[in-house]
Amino acid sequence: MKSREYEIAIVGAGPAGLTAALYAGRALKRTVLLEAGIPGGELLNTETIEDYPGFASITGPDLASKMTEHALTFGAEMIPARVTSISVQPDGTKRISVEDGEPYFAKAVILTAGGQPRKLDVPGELEYAGRGVSYCAVCDGAFFKGEHLAVIGGGDAALEEAGFLTRYASRVTLIHRRRDFRAQPVLVERARTNPKLDFVMDSVVDEITGDGQRVEGLRLRHLPGDEVSALPVGGVFIFIGFLPNSGLLSMHADHDSQGYYLTDSNMQTSVPGVYAAGDVRAQLTRQVTTAVGDATTAAMAATKLVELPLEVPSQS
Protein backbone atom coordinates (compact mmCIF):
# COMPACT_ATOMS: atom_id res chain seq x y z
CA MET A 1 0.00 0.00 0.00
CA LYS A 2 1.41 3.39 -1.04
CA SER A 3 2.07 6.15 1.48
CA ARG A 4 -1.15 8.06 0.64
CA GLU A 5 -3.36 4.99 0.39
CA TYR A 6 -5.39 4.00 3.44
CA GLU A 7 -8.19 1.70 4.35
CA ILE A 8 -10.12 4.39 6.25
CA ALA A 9 -9.84 8.17 5.93
CA ILE A 10 -11.48 10.46 8.47
CA VAL A 11 -12.11 14.11 7.66
CA GLY A 12 -12.21 16.39 10.70
CA ALA A 13 -10.72 15.97 14.18
CA GLY A 14 -13.53 17.01 16.47
CA PRO A 15 -14.95 14.57 19.04
CA ALA A 16 -16.51 12.44 16.29
CA GLY A 17 -13.34 12.29 14.19
CA LEU A 18 -11.13 11.50 17.16
CA THR A 19 -13.46 8.72 18.25
CA ALA A 20 -13.59 7.26 14.75
CA ALA A 21 -9.78 7.28 14.63
CA LEU A 22 -9.64 5.51 17.98
CA TYR A 23 -11.92 2.69 16.86
CA ALA A 24 -10.45 2.33 13.39
CA GLY A 25 -6.96 2.22 14.88
CA ARG A 26 -7.99 -0.39 17.42
CA ALA A 27 -9.34 -2.49 14.56
CA LEU A 28 -5.81 -2.40 13.08
CA LYS A 29 -6.95 -0.63 9.94
CA ARG A 30 -4.58 1.71 8.16
CA THR A 31 -6.27 4.98 9.13
CA VAL A 32 -5.59 8.64 8.41
CA LEU A 33 -7.25 11.55 10.19
CA LEU A 34 -7.12 14.77 8.14
CA GLU A 35 -7.60 18.04 10.04
CA ALA A 36 -6.93 21.59 8.88
CA GLY A 37 -6.71 23.13 12.34
CA ILE A 38 -6.17 22.17 15.95
CA PRO A 39 -7.77 18.84 16.98
CA GLY A 40 -10.84 19.21 19.17
CA GLY A 41 -13.38 20.98 16.99
CA GLU A 42 -16.10 22.77 18.95
CA LEU A 43 -14.63 21.46 22.21
CA LEU A 44 -12.02 24.18 21.88
CA ASN A 45 -14.80 26.79 22.02
CA THR A 46 -16.48 25.34 25.13
CA GLU A 47 -15.27 26.41 28.53
CA THR A 48 -16.90 23.80 30.76
CA ILE A 49 -18.51 20.45 29.91
CA GLU A 50 -20.78 18.94 32.55
CA ASP A 51 -22.70 16.33 30.55
CA TYR A 52 -19.99 13.97 29.33
CA PRO A 53 -20.06 10.66 31.25
CA GLY A 54 -17.12 10.15 33.56
CA PHE A 55 -16.39 13.86 33.97
CA ALA A 56 -18.57 15.82 36.37
CA SER A 57 -16.86 18.92 35.00
CA ILE A 58 -14.03 19.31 32.50
CA THR A 59 -12.96 22.14 30.22
CA GLY A 60 -13.46 21.69 26.50
CA PRO A 61 -9.74 22.07 25.66
CA ASP A 62 -8.81 19.52 28.35
CA LEU A 63 -11.27 16.98 26.97
CA ALA A 64 -10.00 17.66 23.44
CA SER A 65 -6.43 17.02 24.57
CA LYS A 66 -7.37 13.75 26.28
CA MET A 67 -9.37 12.60 23.26
CA THR A 68 -6.55 13.43 20.86
CA GLU A 69 -3.97 11.55 22.89
CA HIS A 70 -6.26 8.54 23.19
CA ALA A 71 -7.21 8.58 19.50
CA LEU A 72 -3.60 8.22 18.38
CA THR A 73 -2.75 5.46 20.87
CA PHE A 74 -3.73 2.67 18.50
CA GLY A 75 -1.88 3.77 15.40
CA ALA A 76 -4.09 6.14 13.43
CA GLU A 77 -2.12 8.87 11.68
CA MET A 78 -3.12 12.50 12.05
CA ILE A 79 -2.06 14.74 9.17
CA PRO A 80 -2.61 18.51 8.95
CA ALA A 81 -4.47 19.03 5.69
CA ARG A 82 -7.48 20.97 4.44
CA VAL A 83 -9.72 18.68 2.41
CA THR A 84 -11.23 20.37 -0.65
CA SER A 85 -13.23 17.57 -2.27
CA ILE A 86 -13.98 13.87 -2.16
CA SER A 87 -14.83 11.78 -5.22
CA VAL A 88 -15.44 8.11 -5.94
CA GLN A 89 -13.30 6.34 -8.50
CA PRO A 90 -14.66 3.64 -10.82
CA ASP A 91 -13.47 0.84 -8.50
CA GLY A 92 -15.15 2.43 -5.48
CA THR A 93 -11.97 3.90 -3.97
CA LYS A 94 -12.46 7.37 -2.50
CA ARG A 95 -10.14 10.14 -3.70
CA ILE A 96 -9.62 12.86 -1.08
CA SER A 97 -8.20 16.06 -2.54
CA VAL A 98 -6.40 18.52 -0.27
CA GLU A 99 -4.95 22.00 -0.52
CA ASP A 100 -1.25 22.18 -1.41
CA GLY A 101 -0.64 18.47 -1.72
CA GLU A 102 -1.23 15.19 -3.47
CA PRO A 103 -4.56 13.43 -2.88
CA TYR A 104 -5.21 10.64 -0.41
CA PHE A 105 -7.06 7.43 -1.24
CA ALA A 106 -9.17 5.17 0.96
CA LYS A 107 -11.72 2.39 0.68
CA ALA A 108 -13.97 4.16 3.19
CA VAL A 109 -14.34 7.77 4.30
CA ILE A 110 -15.90 9.01 7.53
CA LEU A 111 -17.00 12.64 7.35
CA THR A 112 -16.71 14.38 10.72
CA ALA A 113 -15.94 17.89 9.50
CA GLY A 114 -18.41 19.73 11.74
CA GLY A 115 -19.42 23.14 10.44
CA GLN A 116 -19.32 26.90 10.81
CA PRO A 117 -21.36 29.33 12.91
CA ARG A 118 -24.37 30.74 11.10
CA LYS A 119 -24.15 34.47 10.38
CA LEU A 120 -26.79 37.12 10.97
CA ASP A 121 -26.09 38.68 7.56
CA VAL A 122 -26.86 42.19 8.73
CA PRO A 123 -25.01 45.45 8.08
CA GLY A 124 -21.95 45.82 10.32
CA GLU A 125 -21.45 42.11 10.98
CA LEU A 126 -18.68 41.61 8.46
CA GLU A 127 -17.21 45.08 9.03
CA TYR A 128 -16.80 44.53 12.77
CA ALA A 129 -15.85 40.85 12.75
CA GLY A 130 -12.95 40.54 15.16
CA ARG A 131 -13.55 44.12 16.30
CA GLY A 132 -16.49 43.52 18.59
CA VAL A 133 -18.35 40.79 16.70
CA SER A 134 -17.50 37.28 17.82
CA TYR A 135 -18.81 33.72 17.52
CA CYS A 136 -16.76 32.29 20.39
CA ALA A 137 -17.21 33.47 23.98
CA VAL A 138 -14.37 31.33 25.31
CA CYS A 139 -12.00 32.70 22.67
CA ASP A 140 -12.84 36.38 23.04
CA GLY A 141 -14.73 36.96 26.29
CA ALA A 142 -11.69 38.07 28.26
CA PHE A 143 -11.18 40.99 25.86
CA PHE A 144 -14.45 42.58 26.99
CA LYS A 145 -13.95 43.06 30.71
CA GLY A 146 -16.41 45.58 32.13
CA GLU A 147 -18.35 45.93 28.87
CA HIS A 148 -22.07 45.62 28.31
CA LEU A 149 -22.34 42.72 25.84
CA ALA A 150 -25.11 41.31 23.67
CA VAL A 151 -25.64 37.63 22.90
CA ILE A 152 -27.87 36.70 19.96
CA GLY A 153 -29.71 33.37 19.97
CA GLY A 154 -32.04 31.13 21.92
CA GLY A 155 -30.52 27.66 21.94
CA ASP A 156 -28.16 25.83 24.28
CA ALA A 157 -25.06 27.55 22.95
CA ALA A 158 -26.50 31.06 23.33
CA LEU A 159 -27.53 30.54 26.95
CA GLU A 160 -24.35 28.75 27.93
CA GLU A 161 -22.12 31.38 26.37
CA ALA A 162 -24.18 34.25 27.79
CA GLY A 163 -23.64 32.83 31.25
CA PHE A 164 -19.94 32.43 30.61
CA LEU A 165 -19.64 36.05 29.47
CA THR A 166 -21.11 37.40 32.70
CA ARG A 167 -17.80 36.68 34.43
CA TYR A 168 -16.21 39.41 32.29
CA ALA A 169 -19.03 41.74 31.31
CA SER A 170 -20.70 44.35 33.45
CA ARG A 171 -23.98 43.14 31.97
CA VAL A 172 -25.12 40.73 29.24
CA THR A 173 -28.30 41.19 27.24
CA LEU A 174 -29.57 38.08 25.48
CA ILE A 175 -31.64 38.81 22.36
CA HIS A 176 -33.95 36.19 20.88
CA ARG A 177 -36.38 36.43 17.99
CA ARG A 178 -39.02 34.30 19.71
CA ARG A 179 -40.94 34.44 22.99
CA ASP A 180 -39.59 31.10 24.23
CA PHE A 181 -36.09 29.66 24.27
CA ARG A 182 -35.17 26.44 22.45
CA ALA A 183 -32.51 25.63 25.05
CA GLN A 184 -32.70 22.90 27.66
CA PRO A 185 -34.88 23.93 30.66
CA VAL A 186 -31.94 23.63 33.07
CA LEU A 187 -30.00 26.17 31.02
CA VAL A 188 -32.97 28.53 30.80
CA GLU A 189 -33.47 28.40 34.57
CA ARG A 190 -29.77 29.02 35.18
CA ALA A 191 -29.83 32.02 32.86
CA ARG A 192 -32.95 33.53 34.39
CA THR A 193 -31.44 33.40 37.87
CA ASN A 194 -28.17 35.04 36.78
CA PRO A 195 -28.31 38.63 38.11
CA LYS A 196 -26.06 39.94 35.33
CA LEU A 197 -28.26 38.61 32.53
CA ASP A 198 -31.30 40.31 31.05
CA PHE A 199 -33.45 39.42 28.05
CA VAL A 200 -34.93 41.08 24.99
CA MET A 201 -37.43 38.68 23.44
CA ASP A 202 -39.39 38.79 20.16
CA SER A 203 -36.66 40.95 18.66
CA VAL A 204 -34.13 40.76 15.85
CA VAL A 205 -30.91 42.62 15.06
CA ASP A 206 -31.24 44.86 12.02
CA GLU A 207 -27.77 46.39 12.20
CA ILE A 208 -24.54 46.31 14.18
CA THR A 209 -23.27 49.84 14.61
CA GLY A 210 -19.90 51.28 15.51
CA ASP A 211 -17.41 54.10 15.07
CA GLY A 212 -15.55 52.47 12.20
CA GLN A 213 -13.12 50.80 14.56
CA ARG A 214 -15.18 49.05 17.21
CA VAL A 215 -18.77 47.97 17.87
CA GLU A 216 -20.82 50.55 19.74
CA GLY A 217 -24.34 49.16 19.60
CA LEU A 218 -27.21 47.38 17.92
CA ARG A 219 -30.30 48.51 16.11
CA LEU A 220 -33.13 46.19 17.15
CA ARG A 221 -36.50 45.58 15.55
CA HIS A 222 -39.21 44.32 17.87
CA LEU A 223 -41.68 41.78 16.49
CA PRO A 224 -44.36 41.44 15.27
CA GLY A 225 -44.38 45.12 14.35
CA ASP A 226 -41.63 47.40 13.15
CA GLU A 227 -40.81 49.26 16.35
CA VAL A 228 -37.06 49.99 16.41
CA SER A 229 -34.75 50.70 19.33
CA ALA A 230 -31.03 51.14 19.91
CA LEU A 231 -29.00 49.10 22.40
CA PRO A 232 -25.53 50.42 23.28
CA VAL A 233 -23.08 47.52 23.68
CA GLY A 234 -19.35 47.04 23.44
CA GLY A 235 -19.49 43.60 21.85
CA VAL A 236 -21.82 41.17 20.11
CA PHE A 237 -21.63 37.37 20.40
CA ILE A 238 -23.69 35.48 17.82
CA PHE A 239 -25.00 31.95 18.45
CA ILE A 240 -27.88 31.38 16.03
CA GLY A 241 -27.02 28.00 14.64
CA PHE A 242 -24.55 25.99 12.69
CA LEU A 243 -23.89 25.38 9.00
CA PRO A 244 -22.60 21.85 8.39
CA ASN A 245 -19.47 21.35 6.29
CA SER A 246 -21.37 19.01 4.00
CA GLY A 247 -20.17 20.31 0.66
CA LEU A 248 -17.04 18.21 0.29
CA LEU A 249 -18.53 15.38 -1.75
CA SER A 250 -18.29 15.90 -5.49
CA MET A 251 -21.37 13.72 -5.99
CA HIS A 252 -24.85 14.03 -4.52
CA ALA A 253 -25.50 12.64 -1.05
CA ASP A 254 -28.95 12.74 0.50
CA HIS A 255 -29.35 15.53 3.05
CA ASP A 256 -32.08 17.46 4.85
CA SER A 257 -33.28 20.97 4.11
CA GLN A 258 -30.45 22.48 6.17
CA GLY A 259 -27.68 20.50 4.49
CA TYR A 260 -27.13 17.84 7.15
CA TYR A 261 -26.35 14.39 5.78
CA LEU A 262 -29.00 11.72 6.05
CA THR A 263 -27.60 8.33 7.03
CA ASP A 264 -28.75 4.82 7.71
CA SER A 265 -28.37 3.13 11.09
CA ASN A 266 -24.70 2.39 10.28
CA MET A 267 -24.05 6.12 9.67
CA GLN A 268 -23.57 5.44 5.96
CA THR A 269 -24.71 8.19 3.60
CA SER A 270 -26.43 7.48 0.31
CA VAL A 271 -22.92 7.19 -1.19
CA PRO A 272 -21.65 3.66 -0.48
CA GLY A 273 -18.52 3.68 1.64
CA VAL A 274 -19.00 7.27 2.80
CA TYR A 275 -20.12 7.70 6.40
CA ALA A 276 -21.08 10.79 8.41
CA ALA A 277 -20.86 11.35 12.15
CA GLY A 278 -21.25 14.25 14.54
CA ASP A 279 -22.38 17.71 13.56
CA VAL A 280 -22.60 17.02 9.80
CA ARG A 281 -25.33 14.40 10.30
CA ALA A 282 -29.07 15.06 10.65
CA GLN A 283 -30.17 14.16 14.17
CA LEU A 284 -32.28 15.31 17.09
CA THR A 285 -29.49 16.82 19.17
CA ARG A 286 -25.83 17.70 18.69
CA GLN A 287 -23.84 16.88 21.80
CA VAL A 288 -20.39 15.44 22.42
CA THR A 289 -22.04 12.21 23.51
CA THR A 290 -24.01 11.84 20.29
CA ALA A 291 -20.93 12.68 18.23
CA VAL A 292 -18.84 9.94 19.79
CA GLY A 293 -21.74 7.48 19.53
CA ASP A 294 -22.19 8.24 15.83
CA ALA A 295 -18.47 7.88 15.26
CA THR A 296 -18.23 4.54 17.05
CA THR A 297 -20.93 3.11 14.78
CA ALA A 298 -19.40 4.66 11.66
CA ALA A 299 -15.93 3.33 12.43
CA MET A 300 -17.18 -0.18 13.12
CA ALA A 301 -19.27 -0.19 9.95
CA ALA A 302 -16.36 1.18 7.90
CA THR A 303 -14.08 -1.48 9.36
CA LYS A 304 -16.42 -4.23 8.17
CA LEU A 305 -16.70 -2.60 4.75
CA VAL A 306 -12.96 -2.36 4.11
CA GLU A 307 -12.56 -6.05 4.92
CA LEU A 308 -14.65 -6.81 1.83
CA PRO A 309 -13.17 -6.70 -1.70
CA LEU A 310 -13.93 -3.57 -3.67
CA GLU A 311 -16.56 -4.15 -6.31
CA VAL A 312 -16.57 -2.26 -9.58
CA PRO A 313 -20.07 -0.80 -10.06
CA SER A 314 -21.89 -2.33 -13.02
CA GLN A 315 -22.56 -0.08 -15.97
CA SER A 316 -26.28 -0.23 -16.67
Is residue 84 within 8 Å of 97, Cβ to Cβ?
yes
Mean pLDDT of 42-54: 83
Mean pLDDT of 102-108: 96
Strand partners, 236: 133, 150
Question: What is the value of pTM for the model shown?
Answer: 0.77
* Active site (catalytic) residues: 136, 139-140
pLDDT at 309 over 80: no
**DSSP-derived secondary structure for 54-109:** TBSSEEHHHHHHHHHHHHTTTT-EEEE--EEEEEE-TTSPEEEEETTS--EEEEEE
User: Shortest CA distance to 161 belongs to which of 150, 146, 147?
Assistant: 150
Residue 143 makes CB contacts below 8 A (sequence gap 6+) with: 235
pLDDT tens by residue, 237-288: 999 988 898 999 999 999 998 899 999 999 999 999 999 999 999 988 778 9
User: Shortest CA distance to 201 belongs to which of 219, 186, 223, 185?
Assistant: 223
- pLDDT reported for residue 138: 78
What is the spatial distance between Cα 91 and Cα 311, in angstroms, rounded to a whole number? 6
- pLDDT reported for residue 260: 93
- pLDDT reported for residue 312: 54
- pLDDT reported for residue 40: 93
pLDDT at 94 over 60: yes
Residue ranges of E strands in the chain: 5-11, 31-35, 48-49, 58-59, 77-80, 83-88, 94-98, 104-111, 115-117, 133-134, 148-152, 171-175, 197-200, 203-210, 215-222, 227-232, 235-238, 242-244, 274-276
**C-alpha triplet 62, 65, 70: angle, nearest 5°:** 130
Is residue 87 within 8 Å of 251, Cβ to Cβ?
yes
pLDDT tens by residue, 282-293: 988 778 999 999
pLDDT tens by residue, 187-217: 999 999 999 999 999 999 999 999 999 999 9
**Count helices and strands in the chain by DSSP H and E runs:** 6, 19
Q: How confident is the model at residue 308 (pLDDT cuts 50, 70, 90)?
A: confident
Q: Is 300 helix (H, G, I), strand (E, B) or coil?
A: helix
pLDDT tens by residue, 123-159: 999 999 889 999 888 778 889 999 999 999 999 989 9
Instruction: Give per-residue burial for 261-280: e unless 16+ CB within 10 Å, then b.
Output: bebeeebbbebebbbbbbbb
- What does the mean pLDDT of the chain come to? 93
Mean pLDDT of 71-88: 96
Q: Is 182 helix (H, G, I), strand (E, B) or coil?
A: coil
- pLDDT reported for residue 316: 45
Instruction: Give per-residue burial for 289-309: e unless 16+ CB within 10 Å, then b.
Output: ebbbbbbbbbbbbbbebbeee
What is the spatial distance between Cα 276 and Cα 175, in angstroms, rounded to a whole number? 33
Query: What are the structural domains, with CATH classification, of the chain?
Result: 5-117+242-306 (3.50.50.60), 133-238 (3.50.50.60)
The region, left, alpha or beta by phi > 0 then psi within -120 to 50, assigned to residue 202 is: left
